[in-house]
Amino acid sequence: MDGEVERRSSTRSPFVVEVLKTVFYAFLIAAFIRTFLFQPFNIPSGSMENTLLVGDYLFVSKFAYGYSNHSLPWSPDLFKGRVWSAPPERGDVVVFRLPVRPWEDYIKRVVGLPGDRVQMIDGVLHINGEPCKMERVEDYVATDPYGSEVRIARYRETFPNGASHYVLDSEPDADGADDTQEFVVPAGHYFMMGDNRDHSNDSRMADSGVGFVPEENLVGRADIIFFSTDGSAQIWEIWKWPAAFRYGRFFHSID
């Protein structure tokens, strides 16, 4: 009898060891992918509508701009600057660490590069003294908290490098958002703005905590939406999931 127990114990031990090894290796692979390749990120606010919606889940390319302390979990102070650095292009949608609260992630669009002069005049973005092309397109249709349909003016904005995207103008006379001073972007920094121009805390706002974003604060480029939900179903409400998923946004590339 004792021999049978020993045989059972000996056969279980290798199995348990193999399971633990598999879990450990899977953890290492996942940690490597998240740290050096792709990091998942979800959209908590409407500052990037309608490019990104609350409930979108993204993959952020960590290797697009090289690596800094902020590329690593918990931002350990291991080195200065960036390694294998590549600058973002105007128009990239970027996840970065907020300069005043470096543990907090923000997502915005790169509007100004180092040395650029950036200014909003009557709701039109000016870069180095030239207005960006603004083409009026069909309204963006949203739903307010009471379930009513809301129509918001939408434009296609085109940067000097040809990159274009949609922006929303919900409050044409918004104080401090549509008319600003001229900002000169310092070397090694970037000017960020949200696509929902009147509902975005970004580099235009003195009290937003964003300001000019140092290049070492860049986490990565937002490349693709892999999942999206409208928030109408709680995680335990499995029967509501099919109606809550925004299938048309699954695996949707980000412009």
To the nearest whole percent, how much of the chain has pLDDT over 90? Answer: 59
Residue whose entry in the numeric block shows the structure tokens 């104080």: 175
Specify the amino acid at residue 196.
Answer: N
Residue 76 has pLDDT above 90, yes or no: no
Average of per-residue pLDDT across 180-187: 96
Look up residue 238 and give its two tokens.
């499995």
pLDDT band (50, 70, 90) for residue 255: confident
Look up residue 183 and give its two tokens.
């900002």
Average pLDDT score, the chain? 87
Under a CB-based contact definition with an 8 Å cutoff, are residues 84 and 67 in contact? yes
> Which pLDDT value is given to residue 252?
94
> Which pLDDT value is given to residue 119?
97
> pLDDT of 194-211, one tens digit each?
999 999 999 998 788 899
Residue whose entry in the numeric block shows the structure tokens 């600003």: 180
pLDDT band (50, 70, 90) for residue 105: very high
> Which pLDDT value is given to residue 106?
95
> Hey, what long-range contacts does 32-35 have (CB within 8 A, 24 or more apart)?
34/62, 34/73, 35/62, 35/71, 35/72, 35/73
Please tell me the total number of residues recorded for the chain in this structure. 255
pLDDT band (50, 70, 90) for residue 249: very high
> pLDDT of 27-58, one tens digit each?
666 666 666 667 899 999 999 999 999 999 99
| Domains recognised in the chain with CATH numbers | 3-113+187-253 (2.10.109.10)
**Residue 158 backbone class (left: φ over 0; alpha: ψ -120 to 50; beta: rest):** beta
pTM of the model: 0.84
**C-alpha–C-alpha distance, residues 77 and 102, integer Å:** 12
**C-alpha–C-alpha distance, residues 21 and 39, integer Å:** 24
Q: Is 49 exposed, middle or buried (0-12, 13-18, 19+ CB in 10 A)?
A: buried
**C-alpha–C-alpha distance, residues 243 and 163, integer Å:** 34
**C-alpha–C-alpha distance, residues 67 and 83, integer Å:** 5
> Which pLDDT value is given to residue 250?
95
Q: How many CB atoms lie within 10 A of CB 109?
A: 27
Under a CB-based contact definition with an 8 Å cutoff, are residues 157 and 134 in contact? yes
**C-alpha–C-alpha distance, residues 34 and 27, integer Å:** 10
The three-class DSSP label of residue 9 is: helix
Q: Supply angle C-alpha 91, 94, 99, rounded to 5.
A: 120
| Residues involved in catalysis | 47, 108
pLDDT band (50, 70, 90) for residue 88: very high
pLDDT band (50, 70, 90) for residue 5: very low
